[in-house]
Structure 1
Amino acid sequence: MSPFSFTHILTQAVDELSESESYKGLFHQHTDGNPLPSAKALCDIIELARAIIFPGYFGNSTVNSRTMTYHIGVNVERLFDLLTEQILAGLCFGSDDESSCTGLQREEAASVAARFISRLPELRRVLATDVEAAYNGDPAAHSFGEVISCYPAIRAISNYRIAHELLILGVPLIPRIITEMAHSETGIDIHPGAAIGSHFTIDHGTGVVIGETCIIGNNVKLYQGVTLGAKSFPLDENGKPIKGIPRHPILEDNVIVYSNATILGRITVGKDATVGGNIWVTEDVPAGARIVQPKAKK
């Protein structure tokens, strides 16, 4: 059968897909000359940041103590250029009036990129504590290098910490893309809005979900399948969820949550508490408590 026999079907599909009502809310009106966020560029940014934070493990493997300043300098310069462009893309994308994406916004993007880079020493310090926590918490880990190179939690947590800093600096869209990249790669879903302390680790990691308004203290350990989620969504007068209100759990210092536990709502799991596997928690857990499944009655 000739392809031309299907012309009317294709034409009808084009007409239906071009109807404004069919793409309402799904269409991004791009302004010529404005940059668009690039997944490839953001991947390069993450790899550059990792190469700076963990020199020798990512990027150029020939780096040594004598050439450290040179390699970090080259990576920082490239990171600044790429990050400025992507922050600008985020600012333009998030603007109500995209035609206003001007030289002033480029200057703002460069300023934010520079401020982010100034935070890299602190990011390295905190991520070093996460590596230490993963190593100390896993008898199967033989070295820090193995943890940095192999553990999905370090990939996901490093993406999260980078994205969180950008979110704090007011960058729209880009932080969420960065954490979703790690989500796709590792199965660990950490919203960039969550606040997470030092010495944080996730054992195995697959299926972990950490919501936007979670607050997690220091020395917290989660196992695979843990959900730190919201119990319910308050609605506005139009029946739509109210955005931005605290709705996820608070985990204080030294909390351990075992596999497939689900902790929902704005509740507090107190310092030094342990939450066992495969249970739902919707009420506050006292400090030092040990919450486990009740034993089945015989």
Structure 2
Amino acid sequence: MSPFNFTHILTQTVDALSESESYKGLFHQHKDGEPLPSARVLCDIIELTRSILFPGYFGNSTVNSRTVNYHIGVNIEQLFDLLSEQILAGLCFGSDEECSGCTESQRDEAAHLAANFISKLPEMRQMLAMDVEAAYNGDPAAESFGEVIFCYPAIKSISNYRIAHQLLLLGVPLIPRIITEMAHSETGIDIHPGAEIGTHFTIDHGTGVVIGATSIIGNNVKLYQGVTLGARSFPLDEEGKPIKGIPRHPILEDNVIVYSNATILGRITIGHDATVGGNIWVTENVSPGARIVQTKAKK
């Protein structure tokens, strides 16, 4: 009995996978001098940014009030270099230009965008400080701000979101979505970088939360695990393809609480100070101050 011809099978498979029709829409044509975004480097960028926003909690744990200026300075310089390269990769990846490699104007733009992002870090820290405060005040089990910063998945996902959202506002392509999906993989909390979220935002437990791209969330809003802020339908164009960029997700005004596994769909408004109970679907506007809960089935 002759030995099985593995080589023939492997060669046939390589040929089949190399057919252009088989990878249509799945293949990125590399150009010399054109970088690709790196998940590993973006992880480093997130850790660096967290070490700047939460000094002493992430990065060098020996930092103190006398050395904080030095440590932040070193981290800012490193962040600028790494972020410039990743933004450049995003700009090159999203470019329709036929030229080979990234242009000098794109390199200048990437450096400019990285510097603008870094200038927003003080404001971002203020926002995250309010998010940490909201998580601490909203959870009787929380014993300190430090516990919230170290342990709570909401802070990890919200910090990634606020970093990604700022990059998106600056016009950086691709990179913001990678950053929020990194947090999604780690925490189970899916926040699109395009969502608009106010101050003192918190998510209790968090697993399974979905916040769509055009969602608008006011100040002092609290969500529990399993909450979905989703779209009800997708309008189609003449070719039957979804129309991009239209508002299709909910608006939650200030002081709204949404309990676990509630699903809120479509461009509707949940009025300020309203409470949405768990395990219900909401597809119509909710008045300010209203309390929406499941109704008991009649016997």
TM-score computed with the length of structure 2 as normaliser: 0.98
Aligned sequence identity (%): 85
Equivalent residue for 2:226?
A: 225
Instruction: Out of 43-52 and 7-16, give the one that drifted further.
Output: 7-16
Contact 2:168 2:194 in 1 (8 A): yes
| 1:165 and 2:190 aligned | no
Equivalent residue for 1:131?
A: 132
For 2:167 and 2:140, the matched residues in 1 are separated by 34
Equivalent residue for 1:186?
A: 187
For 2:58 and 2:4, the matched residues in 1 are separated by 52
Contact 2:33 2:101 in 1 (8 A): no
Distance 1:4 1:70, change over 3 A: farther
**Which residue identity does 2:12 align to in structure 1?**
Q
Equivalent residue for 1:272?
A: 273
Instruction: Out of 169-178 and 1-10, give the one that drifted further.
Output: 1-10
Deviation (angstroms), 1:4? 6.8
For 1:125 and 1:202, the matched residues in 2 are separated by 18
For 2:155 and 2:76, the matched residues in 1 are separated by 21
**Which residue identity does 1:140 align to in structure 2?**
A
Equivalent residue for 1:294?
A: 295
For 1:25 and 1:223, the matched residues in 2 are separated by 38
Secondary structure, aligned partner of 2:229: strand
**Which residue identity does 1:209 align to in structure 2?**
V
**After superposition, what is the alpha-carbon deviation per residue over 1:231-253, rounded to whole angstroms, capped at 9, x for unaligned?**
00001111111111000000000
For 1:101 and 1:4, the matched residues in 2 are separated by 48
**After superposition, what is the alpha-carbon deviation per residue over 1:180-217, rounded to whole angstroms, capped at 9, x for unaligned?**
00000000000000000000000000000000000000
Deviation (angstroms), 1:15? 1.2
Secondary structure, aligned partner of 2:232: coil
Deviation (angstroms), 1:3? 7.8
| 1:31 and 2:31 aligned | yes
- How many residue pairs align between the two structures? 298
Secondary structure, aligned partner of 1:272: coil
Structure 1: 5+ residue stretches without partners: none
**Which residue identity does 2:94 align to in structure 1?**
G
Contact 2:221 2:257 in 1 (8 A): yes
For 2:101 and 2:7, the matched residues in 1 are separated by 41
For 1:72 and 1:195, the matched residues in 2 are separated by 28
| 1:283 and 2:284 aligned | yes
**Which residue identity does 1:188 align to in structure 2?**
I
> What is the CA RMSD across the aligned residues, in angstroms?
1.2
For 1:277 and 1:112, the matched residues in 2 are separated by 41
